[in-house]
Amino acid sequence: MNQKIKSEIEKSREKDKMLFEQNKFISMGEVMENIAHQWRQPLSQINSSVLVIDDVLHEKNFKDSIIEEKLLEIESLTKYMSNTINDFKNFFDQDKKYETFFLNELIEKSIYIVKGTFKANNIEIENNINNRYEYLGFQNELQHVIVVLLNNAKDAFISRKIIKPKIKIDIKIISNEYHISICDNALGINDEIIDKIFNPYFTTKHKSQGTGLGLYLSKKIVEQSMQGRLEVKNTKEGACFYIILKTADKG
């Protein structure tokens, strides 16, 4: 009897944690929405100021290559900022859309999301995808999975102090399936834990750094929303994660 109560309490605690994670995702989305809203106006104002300066200089026949270069730089930086905001906003978007998109483009977008922290940690990403791969599914959810995998590799690079951290990304088509591989050189996952990494709350990280839900939720997304598989293998250099999805039926 006691045991049963204990396990019920445990279950409801797990549910709470899961709800907490989901709510966290939703509130992050709301924060992004607000920032996007607040920044849109000043960003476009900066851009129009640049245009005015440009015009005035033109009228006065003022020519200076450094000033011209810097004005272009301001323009491209503000563009970059508004693109970034849009990307993050889309990432946290709760409206699930079942749509056709290109896997190669989604991977590029995912790389873009982590670009900042990866650059700061000297992590190289070798994206070997040269073709367009059409897919019908939930774009944002799949992007979430890719970002989780990239961030896990990043955490492994940092904690293991890997000298030349590198991630290779590839897509192969094997009998009506896309095999998206994300491989790192962070020394891999120990045999004792490799069967547990997809379990909820399994983490080797400190409490403040990992919830252990990343791979669990990713597997759920791939298997339940996309009817695919999420697999892992160790290589000589590190870990390889495979997102396996059915290619679109054209029938």
Ligand X SMILES: Nc1ncnc2c1ncn2[C@@H]1O[C@H](COP(=O)(O)OP(=O)(O)OP(=O)(O)O)[C@@H](O)[C@H]1O
- Binding residues for ligand X, rule: CB under 6 A, are 148, 152-153, 155-156, 184, 186, 189, 197, 202-205, 210-216, 239
Distance CA 235, CA 233 (A): 7
Helix (H, G, I), strand (E, B) or coil at 160: coil
Query: 122 — phi, psi (to 5°)?
Result: 55, 30
Of 92 and 102, which has the nearer Cβ to ligand X? 92
Rule CB under 5 A: say whether 139 interacts with Mg ion. no
Distance CA 239, CA 181 (A): 10
Q: Are 159 and 186 in contact (CB under 8 A)?
A: no
Give the CB-nearest residue to Mg ion.
214
Residue whose entry in the numeric block shows the structure tokens 């020519």: 63
CB of 18 to ligand X, least distance (A): 12
Of 79 and 196, which has the nearer Cβ to ligand X? 196
Q: DSSP secondary-structure letter at 215?
A: H
Distance CA 189, CA 239 (A): 6
Of 214 and 238, which has the nearer Cβ to Mg ion? 214
Rule CB under 5 A: say whether 214 interacts with Mg ion. yes
Rule CB under 5 A: say whether 188 interacts with Mg ion. no
Rule CB under 5 A: say whether 218 interacts with Mg ion. no
Of 137 and 214, which has the nearer Cβ to Mg ion? 214
Note the residues at the interface with Mg ion (CB under 5 A). Answer: 152, 214
